Amino acid sequence: MLQKLIKIAALVWILVIFVKLPSYVWDAGVVIPWFVKNGLDFYKNFDGGAYLPLPRLLIIPVSQIFNSDIRLTVFLAYVQELVAAFFIYKISRRFLSSAGTAVAVLFYVLWFPYILQQNAFDISLLLGIVLLLMFSEFMLWTKDQKKSRLVRQGFLASVGIFSQQMYALPAFLFFVYHALFLKTRKKLKSLLREVVLPFLLGCVPIAVGVISYFLIKGSLYEFVDSTILYYLDKSRYPSLEFYFSSRDLTMLFFLSTPLLILATDMLSGLKKSLKDLVRSSFFIIILSVTVSVFFAVFHPRRFLYFLPALSFLGGMVFDNFKKFKKWVRVAALAASFSLLLYFITTAAPWYSQAFRKEVSTSYGLSQPGDYVNMAVIWIRENSSQDAKIHVFGPMLLYYEAQRLPANKKTYSALPWTYEPFEETKILFTKNPADYWLVDERLFTRFVNWGYGYQADFIRDLLDNKYDRVQSYDWMSVYKLK
């Protein structure tokens, strides 16, 4: 009975969230298929924000099937939220009690809307689903050591890595834990046959598919340069303090309550805990993923990366509560009460306010009457169809203006995507855009994030080579002289 109530409640709640919260398109999921439809090549004519491309590649044929319907990615957001809840439920049901399953599902469905604060497809949640599935396969593998599970884990690892580079860390740690398990069984010599080969076999389909795509397109070097060499030699992220806010750090701390309880219990019997590879894998891998978000672009959406696994861990901690030592139970109750208090004082008021607002669904970035929309309309009405533009702002404006980019720097609201800047300067000067759509507020952001030299160059370029032909408060249109 409880299982049915969990399913029904989760489905109804996610539907309510989808209806009551604002929905937004996935900008890359709209713009990239449109670029490809108009003859541009990935990484050669437009960049991918220095991210590995799997979700962005898969959306191209899907968009074609649905006739480039811009509502597609809004619907995908709903599907993704349901899929995450489904796997949390199914995996929890397999390993946890009914009450533990309820805790796991409840943790997810209550926190993901507050983290995201809208309905939008997000690659971090995709990685979170993959991470949870790998935990499930690892737990099952420790029981039966079937090679088929390792093949599936290899496939999942390749999905994660080819979606975003940061997934390489948990994929590597899972591999380490497989080796540690074999060591406990005194089978470490069989690591190559028992683990490495089936794991690599699972990686083959995604790896071969992605590499073949860029090989056929003649852009394999650009792919490697943008997603691997960039990080080895060219990237320059701004100082970490520009990312952190007290709100985000507080949220991260309270979300990590299941992890903190697990850590407390493990410390109460450290020697025994280290031998429990399943529990220690949850602690080490989720902790490593949590720490890794500090070295990426720190944003609450990144918390979705570990939310599904953290939700399952919450159910696991609940099921093991009676096994904890007395002082650990007291600490766990105090931590759980603090989490509840945090939810009541922060998330609950936000829900109340969000549900009272008028529901909005944005199928584009600009809305009739706003500054961005006015600039987009001006470009459409005053430039030729074959005019090339550069957007110093959100990439979705290429689609809305229905104008192709003059260069491949299309993730241009993010300063680190311009690095190495000497190469970008050549792109701007040797093949100048006919028009620039400029969010003037970005100059201040670039300076604050330690990229003042970029802001200065772009400002000088616009002042000397372009005329400001239209201005709508902080949104401007520049035309090549």
Binned at pLDDT 50, 70 and 90, residue 354 comes out as confident
Binned at pLDDT 50, 70 and 90, residue 180 comes out as confident
Residue 184 is predicted with a pLDDT of 77
Residue 39 is predicted with a pLDDT of 94
* Contacts for 252-255: CB closer than 8 Å, 24+ residues apart: 252/290, 252/303, 254/338, 254/339, 254/342, 254/343, 255/111, 255/115, 255/303, 255/307, 255/310
Binned at pLDDT 50, 70 and 90, residue 244 comes out as low
Q: Which of 428, 434, 433 is nearest to 460 (CA)?
A: 428
Residue 190 has pLDDT above 90, yes or no: no
Q: Using an 8 Å Cβ cutoff, are 18 and 116 in contact?
A: no
Q: Which residues pair with 23 in a beta bridge?
A: 119, 361
Residue 270 is predicted with a pLDDT of 66
Residue 240 has pLDDT above 60, yes or no: no
Count of CB atoms situated within 10 Å of the CB of 297: 13
Main-chain dihedrals φ then ψ at residue 392, nearest 5 degrees: -95, 75
What mean pLDDT comes out for the span 304-313? Answer: 96
Q: Using an 8 Å Cβ cutoff, are 323 and 100 in contact?
A: no
d(CA 263, CA 281): 12
For the segment 74-126, what is each residue's pLDDT rounded down to a tens digit?
889 999 999 999 999 999 999 999 999 999 999 999 999 999 888 888 999 99
Domain boundaries, the chain: 2-356, 371-480
Distances (CA, A) of 439 to 168, 226, 320, 406, 477: 35, 25, 53, 17, 9
Residue 239 is predicted with a pLDDT of 53
Residue 363 is predicted with a pLDDT of 55
Q: Please tell me which residue, 61 or 299, carries the higher pLDDT value.
A: 61
Residue 234 is predicted with a pLDDT of 61
Binned at pLDDT 50, 70 and 90, residue 243 comes out as low
pTM for this model (two decimals): 0.93
What mean pLDDT comes out for the span 35-39? Answer: 94
What mean pLDDT comes out for the span 119-137? Answer: 94
For the segment 415-468, what is each residue's pLDDT rounded down to a tens digit?
888 988 999 999 999 989 999 999 999 999 999 888 999 999 999 999 999 999
Binned at pLDDT 50, 70 and 90, residue 360 comes out as low
